[in-house]
Amino acid sequence: MQSLSSRIIKRCFDLFFSTLGLFATGWLILLAFLAASWDTKRNGFFVQTRVGKNGKPFKVIKIRTMKDSPKFGTTVTINNDPRITRWGRFFRKTKIDELPQLINIFIGDMSFVGPRPDVPGFADRLTGEDRIILSVRPGITGPATLRFRDEEEILARQVNPERYNREVIFSEKVRLNREYVEKYSFWKDIKYICQTIFGK
């Protein structure tokens, strides 16, 4: 669990580096927004409701990488998903689509490290001790994110990707995220950030 001092240090870190990140990548976010708008013929920002700290919903901001398709009645994305646009594939591969979440971090909805924010119907339905993962801000990266960094490829190999996601992947993510919260360390946050950047 995070002590008061740990929470203060973590928030100061998030605030400082999200501000720095927005100044450094603002031009790139703008270019990606324009490319996504042209590619999808829609608003280049994808805004979606996710479950945040204490189960409170918030709007996550990303670069739009997919076209709407009514025939796909799922929130699960697999590798080579036909909904992903040409630019969208590049943005997802390079993680440029995640950059607008620096805004979410700056305003306090998210952190750099923490459980990935789920759409309603997953984390908000947890019971018992598993709900501890809702006691912290969701993050861009973390142990579960790193463990399943190839999640789309894993799902693409399944007969029923949505069922596999709910029954196998989500359960393992909950376990990893619980361990992260229960044994929190700021230095582990630094380690996860380095692993995310350098791909280790």
Q: What tokens appear for 190 in the block?
A: 């630094």
112: its two tokens: 């750099």
pTM of the model: 0.89
Provide DSSP, 1-61.
Answer: ---HHHHHHHHHHHHHHHHHHHHHHHHHHHHHHHHHHHHHTS-SEEEEEEE-GGG-EEEEE
What does the pLDDT read at residue 200? 65
Distance CA 133, CA 130 (A): 6
Contact 120, 148 (CB under 8 A): no
Give the pLDDT means over successive 10-residue stretches in the chain (200 positions): 90 98 98 96 96 97 84 57 88 95 98 96 92 97 94 87 90 96 96 90
Which pLDDT score, from 0 to 100, does residue 75 have?
A: 59
pLDDT, residue 79, reads: 57
Other C-beta atoms closer than 10 Å to the C-beta of 159 total 6
Q: What is the pLDDT of residue 76?
A: 64
Domain region containing 87: 4-198
pLDDT at 105: 99
In this prediction, residue 20 carries a pLDDT of 98
If one counts the domains in the chain, the total is 1
Q: What is the pLDDT of residue 38?
A: 95
